[in-house]
Structure 1
């Protein structure tokens, strides 16, 4: 329960961070956002841990996961800079738990029965419904986000693997620190600049405050995720992957007046229903295994 509480709180924090960076995106662009996120977030984790216990054990997996997460982050920022709403991007991200269910089979050795295979198939039908021709999400940015969601599901699995060898602060620190050099490498590309030209060295006062809050929130969220994934199983955590959609709908409406299309909400409802059924079946299976072990 403590792990689930940490993960649930982490998704609320990261949703607020996403809103902050989306709001300041027209001023700084995706590449600079990557640098700011990494610099402030890594500094926060370093201060919180007092520089102790940050030497990684599983260095190769930690490095690969951190680099992949940078690609995911810049994809999300780029989509937001092109006008994709928070709720729409989170609706596409609702496919992550279904992908986590599939990836947990080869990576974690979990078993999936025919019922969960069926519900997972139904869930992907919900994704196709959201992405149908003529719908609000029928745009190339949605395909780009869907690839990022698949990568995000993989990093969630790897987080679970890394917690067997490394501390939560270690995982969060190196993930965030990697954002700095990757963001600097991407700065020369005009496609990742704001519309006004190269990003400024220092944004406006309001923009700077938003970026500081964004970086701090990311540092806090990554520490919460790392600790929560260490305490709770993937199957129990999966439903919390859907809570950002609720956050995104509320925040997007309050700040930008964004209202998702009915196709987006309808498809997301199917995906969420399939994901929750998968969680139910996993609990039934584990209860049966425990009962058989007691016989």
Structure 2
């Protein structure tokens, strides 16, 4: 009996690993389509398209599960705050892609688990030892190696992935308070709904402003294709992630997230011809090593992984 249970659990974990691997292969395509769209469409409109398509994809599942009206007013307020934070994160990240290579932006963004570690210590009272704090410091050093040449090329825009990472880290902390009592599909749906609302307000008031970030435009046919690509790949990656985290522990899946940097580099090289130089690769490897060390320490001490972003949607 125990052998059958163990075998079944092992099979579930293997399925979770496979789904997460596919998810991190698909996720960089969100950024590729966003970078293609950003040449003619403002980042707020790209973000709105992602929210709209993602919410539409989640809606049938939420209705089928009879969870559409489950949220209380308090939970709705919680979702609204999350939606605002994720909106800031996504607009920041997509705006970066107009000026920076995809792989560089994603590498900088992956300081998020490091930021989450520090914030969890400060605001959630989680015990973080000196080793993990040291790993955080080393990880930020790696980020500086990636940021510095980009900063010289594009200025303060190079810091936007850090803004995005801080927002996602805050959202991940909020998710912990909600994930224990709410369906993950409902969380994803409401995040998309509130994000779309906030983006709609920004686009409405930005009409005639001349802002290349917020002023809405009528996309060309090829622009619509890129927007559709952003939304569909985001929905696919999100759904795969949900099922992956249902099949395997977050601590088991977390290291696979860093493969996204590699897959993003490959896609960016194939589509745009972008490839990080030696200094940036050194920074990327330091960020990955620091993140993996933090995850290893968390697993060793069986603490709730501070790098668990299973319910947070990474910025595109």
Normalising by structure 2, we get a TM-score of: 0.79
Gaps of 5+ in 1: 288-295
Whole-angstrom distance in 2 between the partners of 1:13 and 1:155:
22
Kept in 2: contact 1:94–1:268 (CA 8 A): no
Distance 1:131 1:47, change over 3 A: same
CA shift, 1:67, in A, is 1.1
Q: Which residue is equivalent to 1:181?
A: 197
In structure 2, the residue matched to 1:59 is 76
CA distance in 1, matches of 2:213, 2:146: 29
Residue 44 (structure 2) pairs with residue 26 (structure 1) = no
Q: Give the whole-Å Cα distance in 2 for the aligned partners of 1:61 and 1:10.
A: 27
Q: How far does residue 88 in structure 1 lie from its aligned partner after superposition?
A: 0.9
**After alignment, is 149-158 or 248-257 more displaced?**
149-158
Equivalent of residue 199 in structure 1, options 217, 240, 243: 217
8 Å contact kept, 2:115–2:169: yes
Partner of 2:295: 279
2:10 equivalent in structure 1: none
Gap change, CA 1:114 and 1:198, over 3 Å in 2: closer
Describe the superposition over 1:124-171 as per-residue Cα deviations: whole angstroms up to 9, x where unpaired.
222223233xx2344311222212211112222333332211111111
CA RMSD of aligned residues (A): 2.6
* Residue of structure 2 in register with 1:46 after alignment: 59
Query: C-alpha distance in 2, partners of 1:36/1:284?
Result: 41
Alignment partner of 1:75 is 2:88: no
Check whether the contact 2:112–2:166 (CA below 8 A) recurs between aligned residues: yes
- Find the residue that maps to 2:150 and give its secondary structure: coil
Provide closer, same or farther for how the CA distance between residues 12 and 190 of structure 1 changes in structure 2, counting only shifts above 3 A: farther
Aligned to 1:118: 134
- 1:95 is displaced (CA, Å) by 0.7
Runs (5+) with no aligned partner, structure 2: 1-12, 304-316
Determine which of 284, 289, 296 is the counterpart of 1:268. Answer: 284
Distance in 2 separating the partners of 1:160 and 1:12: 26
* Alpha-carbon separation, structure 2, partners of 1:98 and 1:40: 30
Specify the alignment match of 1:11 in structure 2: 24
* Alignment TM-score, normalising by the size of structure 1: 0.84
**Superposition pairs for residues 215-294 of structure 1, below 5 Å?**
215-226=231-242, 228=244, 235-286=251-302
